Amino acid sequence: MRRFFVDPSAVKEDRIEICDKGDLRHLARVLRMKPGDQLMVSDSSAWEYRIVLEEISGEAAVGRILDKQAFGREPSVRVTLYQAAPKQGKMELIIQKTTELGAERIVPMLTRRTLAADKGAFRNKRERWQKVADEAGKQCGRGRLPEVAGVLAFQEVLGELKTTAYDLVLFLYENEEKTTIKEALRRFSKERREKPGTGVGAGAGTGEPEKGPAVALLVGPEGGFSEEEAELLKACAVSVSLGRTVLRTETAGMAALAMVMYELEL
């Protein structure tokens, strides 16, 4: 069933209004939907609705709510990916695939070894990158479209890590020889299960969608994090290895995100 996204303010008592001009054109001209047709609408926050269209105009499409459910396909684990901006247009691929894998937020960052010739160009691409995330999220049936944040410098990322209430922060480091991401995730999962009120099913029966842990993943550029950056990260994050081989920057984030979802979500 076709899915559209609205702001929570568009949801009334028993009606939903779709006012985005692009969505209205898609409804009327591409899908040729008409009153009586049904579609799914996400409030981009916590709930998805099945509605039947009652009217469609150039200003709004109005539908009556038939059913309301918590997101059926949205991960409870909330993952923010801090991805060092790669060269040669690889960022769009990273955003597309990590959206499909369940990332909630994607933050491009600039590090000492970022290889792009014009680092400033990344700051002008946020709108395009957000469209890539939106398209990928709609295609794979996400309940909430991920946010692509503005580009942050490494020091700004450090500040955000220290002020954001993440339950787990991991940074992928090719020189890490002791802790694998599997070990870190399983240790965290065990500690979480043993902590009162945070196990599987916590919050069930309250009528609100279950919230899982907030996890941050940090991926370096083609040349990896510098030794100085790694030492600064170790003060606020767990250094982990992805295995015996060194993955490309565009592969590392996808692999790590898949591992997080496998261990903490599935």
pLDDT per residue of the chain (266 residues) written in tens, 0 to 9: 778 999 999 999 899 999 999 899 989 889 999 999 999 999 988 899 999 999 998 899 999 999 998 887 788 999 999 999 998 779 999 999 999 999 999 999 999 988 765 666 777 789 999 999 999 998 888 888 999 999 999 999 999 999 999 999 999 999 999 999 999 999 999 998 888 766 555 555 555 556 789 999 999 999 999 999 999 999 999 999 998 888 999 999 999 999 999 999 86
SS in 3 state form for 91-103? HHHHHHHHHHHCC
Report the distance separating Cα 175 and Cα 163, nearest Å: 27
Element (H, E) at 231: helix 227-234
Sequence-ordered list of residues with C-beta below 8 angstroms from that of 203, at least 6 positions apart, any chain: 210, 211
This prediction has a pTM of 0.86
Which residue shows structure tokens 């579609």? 39
Beta-strand (E) ranges in 1-146?
Answer: 3-5, 15-18, 38-42, 47-56, 61-70, 78-84, 105-110
Kindly list the strands in the beta sheet with 3-5, ordered across the sheet, starting from the edge strand earlier in the chain: 3-5, 38-42, 47-56, 61-70, 15-18
Side chain identity at 78, as an amino acid letter? R
